[in-house]
Each structure stands twice: as structure tokens, then as C-alpha cells.
Amino acid sequence: MSPVLKRTLGYFLPYWWLMLLSALFSLVVGAMDGAFAYLVEPVLKRIFAGHDTGIFLLVPVGIIILFLVRGISRYIYDVTIKLAGQKAIQDIRNDFYQQTIRQDMAFYNRQATGDLMSRMTNDITTMQEGMSQVVTGLFRDLISMVALLGVIFYRNWQLATISFIVFPLTIYPAQLIGKKIKHAAKRSLDVMGGLGTTMQETFSGIKVVKAFGVEEQVTQRFKQENLNFLHQFRRYIKYSSLATPVTELIVSLGIAAVVYVGGSQVMSGRMSPAELFSFIAAMIMLFTPVKKLQSSYNIVQRSAGAAERVFQTMDERRSIVDHADAVELGRVSGRVALRDVSFQYGDEPVLQGVNLTIEPGQMVALVGPSGSGKSTLAALLMRFYDVSHGVILLDGHDLREIRLASLNRQFALVDQETTLFNDTIANNIRYARPEATDEEVVAAATAAFAHEFILQLPDGYQTNIADRGTRLSGGQRQRLCIARALLKDAPILILDEATSALDTESEKMVQQALDNLMQNRTTFVIAHRLSTVLHADQIVVLEQGQVVEVGSHADLVAGSGLYSRLHALQFRDQEQLDQGLPA
């Protein structure tokens, strides 16, 4: 048994009692198949040779009773094994989501969201199909096959030996075809992941698709991806369809040999016609579970291809983990120090030799051209990534020596993406503190200047805001995010372009909410619009991953560095806009 299959079946162990119940009733089904084949010969003898009309009248009743018991037993084992399979799949899906959601940000940088969704849905569903087949095959078809083998060997061991010789001949082609099926299934699921990525990108970016009128282009892209999937899945169809004809061809050799030898024995008087008929009936019934086992093997191979993809994601190792001696911090004062901090994505340097000291309660602005490393620096502060060189200290503790859960409690984030969820407004605000009371939620919304517009919505705080809050304006979404950060009440606040996408009126109201949020907190503000950071205690100017200037707004404007040039450029553009001239 392959390690992947063994690991998959391991998820069944907690539900051994369902499997045991299923096994007991599958024994009944298998025994019924054997009993039916065994009784054919004596019943035919008594009816046709002994002219026993009593048995003849009882045969229809016996058949009905036999199949009634078999049907009830089949129903019970089928329900119990499928329930065990569904519970096992539920555990796999839970483990997959739990492992994935706890991965580092670096994992999400290299992993397409659509592919993750495909593995969660398509791959695990394929695994479910395979698990049901393998366990059902072992319990039902294998037991039926053993019972029927017992009957044919009891009836005539010479003919049974002849017919049994062909079964080993089916093993090699089955294994060869099974490997092809597994490879083809895995490739088709890889392409299905690409389809999922395409759908996720276009549906989430539908506004851009519509604005640029590229429906035809994205449709053609999807059609090409779908065609690629068809090409890969066609190989799976070809190999899976080949398995049964090959098996039947080999088995036909055994049937032909049995008919010839058995017929010769009947004509020579060494076997009665009833015995030969009973034997052939049992042998034909035997081929049904054999073919089902062959089909189950092919499905299991496809399932193994899906399981490899699922377990590959689940086994991804996290680089951001708690060290064995990590410390638990209470609420920190908010003193942050960066000592010779450098960071790189792969071989690409992003930050180099950054040295900063931020005192509790200070407002620090991170400014500079796009790609200068501002957002990366903020991500390092929250330990979304570990520094490549140097150290970041929080109240004197290396971030890598602090437990992740307690480190997370020290930060609140408000960024330009205004991430909201398909839930009620109250639950979106309560996201950081699920245990918060309704009064605390309202207080946070009030401080964020969101309370009034919330009350104007159809269901107030219980209004469902749809996917990503699309029913709200940009300013309203941003104020809900600020309310969420207020409710968390963390000592350190990170504002990443929190007002960059807002109009002037919305920005003014959001800025008031941010002023409430920043009180008595160490605040890092990432901004392109320099007018929002004029009152910062420190302005840190970054260029190509290096700190090129540090100081107050007045000091930096008075100089001749990058900040002064950026300020002059923005001031000139603003003047031209005020005068109605093109910037």
C-alpha cells in the first residue's frame, strides 16, 4: 500500500465502529452471493431430476426472501461506510484549511488562490470518491469474491483452478494502467487549479474587466485553459476506459477453457449438467466483484493523484513559528528598534541596513517612491516575514523570541484594501475580538464616525454587507476597518495608505477617525500623500530599500534631499489642480 493511500485511510480510524458495522453487513451480502451460487445445483437437481414440485413452488418465495435480506444488509453497510467516508473527508478538509490558513505570508505570495480553492474542492472531492471505492471494494466485493471462490472450488476444484489461473494475468495490466491513470488525473487536476485561478482573478476583478471591455479576451483565456483541461482529462478517460476491456478479454480465456473442459466432463458422464450450470453461474457471478475491484483500483489511483496534491499543500513547512523558548508578552509600551535590518525575497534585496528607534506613542511616517520597501518594513514589524539580517526589538525583545499569538495582540492594521467579509457589520467590527459586547462594538463604531451611517442601513449593525463590503462606499468601508482596529485596542498601529483611495470629503472624515485611533499608540503611517504626515514625530524616507533621510517635516523640507523634492513636486501638482491646470 502506498504511503499516500495509507495516510488517507488513516483518517478512517476514528470511525472504526462504523467500518465494523459495515463489515458485518457486507459479510451478509457476500455470504448471500455464495449461498445463491451454491444452492443452484441442488435445487435444480430436486426440481428437474426429482420432480419436486414443492421446492419448485418455494423457489420464487426463497428468491424474494434472499434478496430482501441482501437488500437490507446492502443498505446498512452502504450507509455506514459512506458516512464513515464523509466524516473522514470532513476531517481532511478541516486539516487542509487549518494548515493552509496558518501558513506564512511567503506561502501566499507563491501560491495562487484559485489553485488552493481547487485543491480544497475538486481534489478533496476526488479523494472522497476514491476512499469510498477502496473501502467499499474491500468490504463488499472482496468478501463476495472469496465466498464465490469457495463455492467454485467446492463444486469442482479442477475447473476452479483453470478459471483461477487467468486472474493473476490481470494484475500486471491493471498496475500499468493504474499508474497511467494516476499521472493523468494529477495532471488534469493541476490544470483545473489553473482554471480556478482564472475564475478567481476575473470574478474578483470584474470591475476592471468591465471598465476595459475585455470580456472577450478573458473568455478566450478561460476557453484555452478549459481546452487544456480537456486534453489532460482525455488521457484519463482513455486509460480508465481501457482497463475493463483488457480485463474482460483475459477473463474470457478462463471462461472459454471452463466451457470446453466442463462440457467434455458432462459429455463423458463425469459431471451432471446441473453441476456445470451451478459452476458457471458461480463463476459468472465471480467476475462481477472482480471487475468492480478493478474499477475501484482505477478510481483509487485517480484519488491518489488528488491526495498527493492535497498532502503536498498540507505538508508545506512554515518558516514563521514559535521558538521553544519564546516568551509571552502582556501589553507592551510600544518602543520599537530596528538594528541593521535587511530583508530579501529569494535573491532580490528589498531592505538594506535599516536602523531606527521609535519611542512609545510616537507617530512615524514611512515615505518614498513605490517599491522602496515601506510596506515590507511594516510586514516585518508584524513578523509576516523574518528579517534576513539584523534584529527588530519590541520593548527590548527580539520579535523572533516572542510568541506569535502575543505578538499579534500588539498590532492593529488599517490598509488601503479595506478587507471586509460577507457577514454582518457587527461581526466585521468584532473580527479582532469575537468576545466583544454589543456596547463595545457600538463604541468603536462611534469613535470611527461610522455609527450614524450604520443606523441608516436596513438592519443597522445586523446588515449583511456582502462580499468584500461592496454595498458600502469606500469611506464607509474604511471607517469600519478603523472601528475594527479601535476595538482591538492594540498598543501599536500600522496605517498602510489608509486614505489613498478616498475622495476629499471621505478622507476628511476618515482622517478624524484615524486621529481617534492614533491617540496613545505608537503609529507607523505609510503614505504617498505627504500632506497626511506633516505632524509625524519622525519621517523616515526610503529609497531602493535604504533609509536616506530621517527627521521632522520642517527639517526635511528645509533640506535638499529626496523628501524636499517629493514635497515640492506634490505641492506644485496640487497648486496646478487648484488652478484648474493639468498636473
Query: Percent of the chain at pLDDT above 90?
Result: 10
* Residue in the structure block whose three cell numbers are 493504474: 178
Asked if residues 521 and 346 have their Cβ atoms less than 8 Å apart, the reply is no
124 pLDDT higher than 70: yes
Burial class (CB in 10 A: 0-12, 13-18, 19+), 172: exposed
CA–chain centroid gap for 503, Å, is 38
576 pLDDT higher than 50: no
**In angstroms, rounded to a whole number, what is the distance separating the alpha carbons of residues 54 and 202?**
74
136 pLDDT higher than 70: no
Residue 16, number of CB atoms within 10 A of its CB:
11
Lowest mean pLDDT among 115-129, 160-174, 488-502, 541-555: 160-174
579 pLDDT higher than 50: no
The string of DSSP codes covering 234-270 is: HHHHHHHHHHHHHHHHHHHHHHHHHHHHHHHHHHTTS
Q: What are phi and psi of 214, to 5 degrees?
A: -110, 30
Instruction: Give me the mean pLDDT over the 479-505 stretch.
Output: 79
Instruction: Give me the mean pLDDT over the 412-427 stretch.
Output: 82
pLDDT of residue 339: 94
Q: Which of 529, 513, 422, 516 is nearest to 476 (CA)?
A: 513
Question: 151 is written with which cell numbers?
Answer: 463455492
pLDDT of residue 338: 93
Bigger pLDDT: 75 vs 174:
75
Which of 90-104, 236-250, 308-322, 324-338 has the largest mean confidence? Answer: 324-338
Q: Which of 359, 269, 300, 287 is nearest to 137 (CA)?
A: 300
Q: What are phi and psi of 494, to 5 degrees?
A: -120, 120
Lowest mean pLDDT among 98-102, 120-124, 433-437: 120-124
Q: What is the DSSP letter of 144?
A: H
Instruction: Give me the mean pLDDT over the 120-138 stretch.
Output: 72
Beta bridge partners of 524: 364, 494
Lowest mean pLDDT among 107-111, 292-296, 458-462: 292-296
**In angstroms, rounded to a whole number, what is the distance separating the alpha carbons of residues 84 and 80?**
6
Taken in order 315, 321, 326, 331, is the CA torsion positive or negative? negative
Helix (H, G, I), strand (E, B) or coil at 197: helix
213 pLDDT higher than 60: yes
Lowest mean pLDDT among 284-293, 435-444, 474-483: 284-293
Residue 68, number of CB atoms within 10 A of its CB:
10
Bigger pLDDT: 8 vs 175:
8
Instruction: Give me the mean pLDDT over the 169-187 stretch.
Output: 71
Q: What are phi and psi of 12, to 5 degrees?
A: -80, -20
Q: Please, what's the b/e burial string for 353-375 (b: 16 or more CB within 10 A of its CB; e: otherwise)?
A: ebebebeebbbbbbbbeeebbbb
pLDDT of residue 150: 76
Q: At 389, is the pLDDT very low, low, confident or very high (cuts 50, 70, 90)?
A: very high
Instruction: Give me the mean pLDDT over the 528-534 stretch.
Output: 77
Cα angle 405, 409, 529; round to 5 = 125
Question: 216 is written with which cell numbers?
Answer: 472577450
Residue 539, number of CB atoms within 10 A of its CB:
25
Lowest mean pLDDT among 74-78, 87-91, 341-345: 74-78
Which of 109-123, 221-235, 361-375, 493-507 has the largest mean confidence? Answer: 361-375
Number of H helices and E strands in the chain, helices first, is 21, 10
160 pLDDT higher than 80: no
Q: At 578, is the pLDDT very low, low, confident or very high (cuts 50, 70, 90)?
A: very low
Q: What are phi and psi of 269, to 5 degrees?
A: 85, 5
pTM above 0.75, yes or no: no
Q: Which of 577, 540, 150 is nearest to 351 (CA)?
A: 540
Question: 413 is written with which cell numbers?
Answer: 492594521
Helix (H) / strand (E) element for 378: namely helix 374-381
What strands, in cross-sheet order, belong to the sheet with 546-551?
A: 411-415, 492-496, 522-526, 363-367, 538-543, 546-551
Enumerate domains of the chain plus CATH numbers.
3-314 (1.20.1560.10), 325-410+538-583 (3.40.50.300)
577 pLDDT higher than 60: no
**In angstroms, rounded to a whole number, what is the distance separating the alpha carbons of residues 234 and 211?**
37
Query: Percent of the chain at pLDDT above 70?
Result: 81
* Residue in the structure block whose three cell numbers are 515615505: 367
Give the pLDDT confidence of 364-382 residue by residue, as tens digits: 989 888 888 888 899 899 8
Q: How many CA atoms lie within 13 A of 573 on its CB side?
A: 10
The string of DSSP codes covering 56-119 is: HHHHHHHHHHHHHHHHHHHHHHHHHHHHHHHHHHHHHHHHHHHHHHTS-HHHHHHS-HHHHHHI
Asked if residues 181 and 240 have their Cβ atoms less than 8 Å apart, the reply is yes
Instruction: Give me the mean pLDDT over the 427-451 stretch.
Output: 87
221 pLDDT higher than 80: no
Give the pLDDT confidence of 329-361 residue by residue, as tens digits: 889 999 999 999 999 887 888 899 999 999 999
Q: At 402, is the pLDDT very low, low, confident or very high (cuts 50, 70, 90)?
A: very high
Residue 185, number of CB atoms within 10 A of its CB:
29
Lowest mean pLDDT among 135-144, 385-394, 457-466, 558-567: 135-144
**In angstroms, rounded to a whole number, what is the distance separating the alpha carbons of residues 372 and 354?**
12
Q: Which residues contact 298 (CB under 8 A, 6 or more apart)?
A: 177, 178, 181, 239, 240, 243
48 pLDDT higher than 60: no
Taken in order 155, 157, 159, 160, is the CA torsion positive or negative? positive
Q: Which of 415, 422, 454, 457 is nearest to 438 (CA)?
A: 454
Instruction: Give me the mean pLDDT over the 285-294 stretch.
Output: 71
pLDDT of residue 328: 92
Helix (H, G, I), strand (E, B) or coil at 112: coil
Question: What mean pLDDT, rounded, does the chain reach?
Answer: 78
Instruction: Give me the mean pLDDT over the 157-161 stretch.
Output: 76
Asked if residues 495 and 514 have their Cβ atoms less than 8 Å apart, the reply is yes
Instruction: Give me the mean pLDDT over the 199-215 stretch.
Output: 67
| 3-class SS string, 328-353 | CCCCCCCCEEEEEEEEEECCEEEEEE
Radius of gyration of the chain (CA): 35
pLDDT of residue 74: 80
Q: At 581, is the pLDDT very low, low, confident or very high (cuts 50, 70, 90)?
A: very low
pLDDT of residue 583: 46
pLDDT of residue 503: 58
**In angstroms, rounded to a whole number, what is the distance separating the alpha carbons of residues 456 and 473?**
14
45 pLDDT higher than 70: no
Lowest mean pLDDT among 8-12, 69-73, 280-284: 280-284
Q: Which residues contact 534 (CB under 8 A, 6 or more apart)?
A: 553
Give the pLDDT confidence of 179-196 residue by residue, as tens digits: 777 777 777 777 776 777
Asked if residues 404 and 328 have their Cβ atoms less than 8 Å apart, the reply is no
